[in-house]
Amino acid sequence: MRIAEAGLAVAGLPLRRQLRHAGIDTGELTEVFLRVLLEDGHVGWAETRGNGAYATGCSTEVIVAALSTPGWHDPARLARRCPPAAMLVDIARRDAHARAAGIPLWATLSEKPAPASLPTHAAIAFGTEDQAGELADAAVRAGFGRIKIRIGGDPEVDRARVARVREIAGPPVVLAVDANGGWDTATAIEATRWLAELGVAWFEQPVKDLVSMAAVRAASPVPLWADESVRDAESVRAVAELGAADGVHLKLEKAGTVDELAAAIGTARRHGLDVGLGQMDCGRLGCATTAHLAAGLHVEVAELWGCAHLEHDVTPGLELRDGAVPLPGGPGLGLRPELEITTPMRIPS
């Protein structure tokens, strides 16, 4: 079904606390929304991060520009230029088509039944040891069974922070850490020893390049996952062939299309790699998107609550329950943002 109308809106979603790690330091999430109207009258929406160029390579301006080029309505073609823009087109169309069929988006990807809710994990950003402990306590009280901690700064400070989280959370809670490529090889190898002592389940992207990742993995008692190093099936294959990781953490914002994301997941599984599905910090429409993909592509380890620290969101209707995100009911994504389209788009003939 062809697109009859389309338009964009950009919204700044304020955060309750600063988003700070190796790639960014900001007090708001800049979100780009696409609305499409199909010729049959059904509407679809999608959301992606605009101020996430440190991970996707595409700023808000680049995303908007990509959606003004000829052929923008072809997500596979658009993904070669700007994956987050391709994500918008792909998801908005899928949302509209699923609404037309009267089924949830996840059901367009799988015939197997989906769970009523999907467990996710709490995220602990950079900060002090005491702050890490406070956030860990809040996560446990909220029912989270997994906690991921940002590391990659001063190793001694990070060690104390992870130790405090383990102390507060106790043995039943799964801990993971993510350095965002912030350490050198020697520092990362040394860190794997105390991470193992603290019972960390996996260590994401300790260093930037795959050769160094392979060196760390060879010496590490903790499984390594690639994050910044993977985007699509080809990059997953490179990780596997170099023996650089035990698992991969994939994001639609980087893959561009659901088909490419599914291909990357399939490649990982064929090479015996664990698979996690992540997302940029985003609003609830983006979280719902990841939840549908996790359910439809059968990914059990998923980040689904990138809206955790939002002061205000433009999309209502998605809430966390006992450390899990209920899969939205209703057709399509099951949610719609409450905002006005500000930039009409030219529809290709």
**Residue spans per domain, the chain:** 3-103+336-344, 117-326
- Alpha carbon separation from 36 to 9, 33, 39, 186, 335 (Å, rounded): 12, 10, 10, 50, 14
Average pLDDT of the chain to the nearest whole number: 96
Q: Tokens standing for 298? A: 């059968």
Please determine, for residue 23, whether its predicted confidence score (pLDDT) is greater than 80: no
The pLDDT of residue 92 is 99
Q: Starting at the earlier edge strand, list the strands of the sheet with 174-178.
A: 122-124, 146-150, 174-178, 200-204, 224-226, 247-251, 274-278, 301-302
In the chain, the amino acid numbered 38 is L
Please determine, for residue 21, whether its predicted confidence score (pLDDT) is greater than 80: no
Bridge partners of 11, per DSSP, are 31
Give the tens place of pLDDT for each residue, 174-213: 999 999 999 999 999 999 999 999 999 999 999 999 999 9
The CATH architecture assigned to 3-103+336-344 reads: 2-Layer Sandwich (3.30)
Band (pLDDT 50/70/90 cuts) for residue 349 is: low
The pLDDT of residue 24 is 83
Between 70 and 223, name the one with better pLDDT: 223
Please determine, for residue 45, whether its predicted confidence score (pLDDT) is greater than 80: yes
Please determine, for residue 227, whether its predicted confidence score (pLDDT) is greater than 90: yes
117-326 homologous superfamily = Enolase-like C-terminal domain (3.20.20.120)
The pLDDT of residue 348 is 74
pLDDT, average across residues 128-134: 97
Please determine, for residue 17, whether its predicted confidence score (pLDDT) is greater than 90: no
Give the tens place of pLDDT for each residue, 257-314: 999 999 999 999 999 999 999 999 999 999 999 999 999 999 999 999 999 999 999 9
Dist. CA 222–CA 275, nearest whole Å: 16
pLDDT, average across residues 236-251: 99
Please determine, for residue 22, whether its predicted confidence score (pLDDT) is greater than 80: no
The pLDDT of residue 20 is 80
The pLDDT of residue 18 is 86
pLDDT, average across residues 228-241: 98
Q: Tokens standing for 336? A: 């719609």
Please determine, for residue 161, whether its predicted confidence score (pLDDT) is greater than 70: yes
